A and B are shown apart, each in its own frame.
Chain A
């Protein structure tokens, strides 16, 4: 009975892994890259903010007042300033919003969006429209492209979000079943035997990376499932039951609007004074934006959104816009009652690792790559057992095709991601069309890489060649950056543009590692893997340590 239960868990683990392995690799790899998306890659992608050390706050305040005076006062419902920088974008944005009744019920927010050069503060763009549309249609770069791809595979809502949410669920299920079927899990922490056989290498890599990153994989699966399914399924379902389908009301319940006590008395609005006060009080925070509620009134409130404070998630700091006096500060869901707020606050930071600075991000990046490798090594074990033994119902040739497809998709997405760096530097298209152009490069490269792998005689050769190409692409990013932007590696170091230099250096190192890995991978499956007696012993050892006797899904 106990043995049957373990076999069932193993079957579940094996099939869930095999069905989702490729997509999970894609999501996990782009997720690992996205850890640096709001920050390092955002700065690297935007020449205009690479060397931006300080912003001229008094000048920005003056500009804000000038434009606020020019726009229709109906657009003063919310006045927002988004500061240029790693967590926002390449322009200084000022957004003036008015709330209007939607024909189908509820409210929509019409907005005037002004974009300014972050250094010269010259007006460079002006858009009008519904606020969500404006946010969606703003110029994007390779960093935005990667983050969106990780979030919804560029399939949009609800399809893309549901798909990534379901992948989070399956990852979570794999982690739990993996623990159940590996009773001696702690022994596997140090069981890496790289030189004995290929299959054992796959098995050990899968186990070691799986066990070391166990908590991380489970957390990523859980939070990913929540984040993917929230907007697409959970909010509509919750709103349907609790608020008669009114999603706006549900969101307002969890994220209550700031309600200033309006006096009717006009007052001058401040930006510099409260912001400097905030930075003096909390020197580790990075302020991304400021929103004024009740612009022009004595009771107006300015709310600064900041990262890096004392709470795990981002914080909101409220100040009186008229006097610059602090009012209160709280985490994202900090104004709620009960325990849900702690869980909700933890979801995004735990998923993206953006709560403890660079070293936490780096840890999340490494562990994220581990999640990707666990999924692909699991797939390789699954294929090895079927292509070279009596397991499985397909022919060996069919398993070889699946292997080549897996190699092409997984190594191909790495090559395609690296090609985005070149595309960002080399493409000369209007900012509004950049996202589409990046998509063409990314998906085109990915499709080519997959076709290439399918045309090679075996998955080993395909992987090896694609890794080599990827390595070359990564290594050439720094010189191309120097040629196109003038930011040569040495000059970025001299100017103290550490992020730009760091990204260039990291890509160079990654390229070297990929080429070394390509050299280490054989051009075909080693013959000794198939026939030697030692292989039989090793195979049995691997099988026995994996699951109980006869557990063949």
Chain B
């Protein structure tokens, strides 16, 4: 006789509501801010520095979407998204205010 094993699987995604918000609004806002902020530090000529983040915006968004979907711990997702947003917002602020 085989031993009885539990057939219940852990849910595929933890925190589905929070993750949905992270994958939609969170990823979109972060990718826009990262794309805008990246124009300040990419080590290439001025035109490419402004143009490349805009042209490659779909890739930035897709990378963040996959990260937000695949990462098991939703706190890690939010930590990275808010961290990236904060870092780039501060960079933009410094640049605009000349601080």
A225 near B12 with CB under 8 A, answer: no
B92 near A241 with CB under 8 A, answer: yes
User: With contacts A4-B12, A173-B62 known, is A340 near B36, CB below 8 A?
Assistant: no
B99 / chain A contacts, CB cutoff of 8 Å = none
B12 near A229 with CB under 8 A, answer: no
Residues of B35-94 whose CB lies within 8 A of A: 35-37, 39-40, 44-45, 47-48, 50-55, 57-58, 61-62, 65, 69-70, 92
A168 near B58 with CB under 8 A, answer: yes
User: With contacts A169-B58, A221-B58, A230-B54 known, is A241 near B36, CB below 8 A?
Assistant: yes
B55 / chain A contacts, CB cutoff of 8 Å = 226, 340, 343-344, 347
Residue pairs across A and B with CB atoms within 8 Å: the count is 92
DSSP majority for the B interface?
helix
A339 / chain B contacts, CB cutoff of 8 Å = 48, 52
Min C-beta distance of A291 to chain B, whole Å = 23
B58 / chain A contacts, CB cutoff of 8 Å = 168-169, 172, 221-222, 225-226
B45 near A229 with CB under 8 A, answer: no
Most buried by A among B51, B62, B92: B51
A8 near B13 with CB under 8 A, answer: yes
Min C-beta distance of B59 to chain A, whole Å = 8
A172 / chain B contacts, CB cutoff of 8 Å = 58, 62
Nearest A-chain residue to B33, judged by Cβ: A237
A338 near B35 with CB under 8 A, answer: no
B52 / chain A contacts, CB cutoff of 8 Å = 339-340, 343
Min C-beta distance of B36 to chain A, whole Å = 4
Q: How many residues of B contact A (CB 8 A)?
A: 30
B47 near A253 with CB under 8 A, answer: yes
Proximity bits, A219-258, B CB within 8 Å = 1, else 0: 0011001100110011101101110100000100110000
A221 / chain B contacts, CB cutoff of 8 Å = 58
A340 near B47 with CB under 8 A, answer: yes
In the assembly, what is the distance between CA of A497 and CA of B25, in Å?
51
Q: How many residues of A contact B (CB 8 A)?
A: 42
B62 near A233 with CB under 8 A, answer: no
Min C-beta distance of B92 to chain A, whole Å = 5
User: With contacts A169-B61, A226-B58, A338-B45 known, is A242 near B12, CB below 8 A?
Assistant: no
Proximity bits, A193-219, B CB within 8 Å = 1, else 0: 000000000000000000000000000
B39 near A242 with CB under 8 A, answer: yes
A70 in the interface (beta carbon within 8 A) = no
In the assembly, what is the distance between CA of A173 and CA of B62, in Å?
6
B12 near A11 with CB under 8 A, answer: yes
A241 / chain B contacts, CB cutoff of 8 Å = 36-37, 39-40, 92, 95-96
Chain B contact residues, CB within 8 Å of chain A:
9, 12-13, 28, 32, 35-37, 39-40, 44-45, 47-48, 50-55, 57-58, 61-62, 65, 69-70, 92, 95-96
Beyond A173-B62, A176-B62, A241-B96, list 13 extra A-B contacts (CB 8 Å).
A4-B12, A9-B70, A12-B69, A226-B54, A237-B32, A241-B37, A241-B92, A253-B47, A337-B48, A338-B45, A340-B47, A343-B52, A550-B9
Which 5 A-B pairs rank lowest in CB-CB distance, beginning with the nearest?
A: A340-B51, A338-B48, A237-B36, A234-B54, A225-B58
